[in-house]
């Protein structure tokens, strides 16, 4: 099935560092979502974006809906050990319907 191009695949960072990851598509999306998944758990919604150019924050997390509507970015500032996990981007073409996911970015944080 189709998946979005998400990068990087994995990151090893020091506690306190900032993190950036992104997601691209060859198709236009109307909605971009960012989820975090811990081992053995379902994905947890972090941020939802609905307008091209939109910049939305949730605590130390900031995400942007790309102007071309074909990409999105997630930044985490001042990382802490509990940020460890796999981050997924997901896009939706219409105003409703299924989500298309990236393969995930695995984040490891060294204390």
Partner 1 sequence: ETGVTQSPTHLIKTRGQQVTLRCSSQSGHNTVSWYQQALGQGPQFIFQYYREEENGRGNFPPRFSGLQFPNYSSELNVNALELDDSALYLCASSGAGTGGDEQYFGPGTRLTVT
β 105-110/85-92 pair status: antiparallel
- Residue 39 makes CB contacts below 8 A (sequence gap 6+) with 85
Closest CA to 60 of 72, 73, 75, 81: 75
| 48 is a contact residue toward partner 1 (CB under 8 A) | yes
Counting contacts by CB under 8 A, is residue 59 touching partner 1?
no
Select from 11-19, 42-50, 63-71, 73-81 the region that touches partner 1 (CB under 8 A): 42-50
Does position 93 interact with partner 1 (CB under 8 A)? The reply is: no
Among the listed ranges 53-61, 64-72, 73-81, 99-107, the one in contact with partner 1 (CB under 8 A) is 99-107
């Amino acid at each position: 099935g189709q998946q979005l191009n998400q990068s990087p695949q994995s990151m090893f960072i020091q506690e306190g560092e900032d993190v950036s990851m992104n997601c691209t598509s060859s198709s236009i999306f109307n909605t971009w979502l960012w989820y975090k998944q811990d081992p053995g758990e379902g994905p947890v919604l972090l941020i939802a974006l609905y307008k091209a150019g939109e910049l939305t924050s949730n605590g130390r997390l900031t995400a942007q809906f790309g102007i071309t509507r074909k990409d999105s970015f997630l930044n985490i500032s001042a990382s802490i050990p509990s940020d460890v996990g796999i981050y997924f981007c997901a896009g939706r073409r219409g105003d409703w319907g299924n989500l298309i996911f990236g393969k995930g970015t695995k984040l490891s944080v060294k204390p």
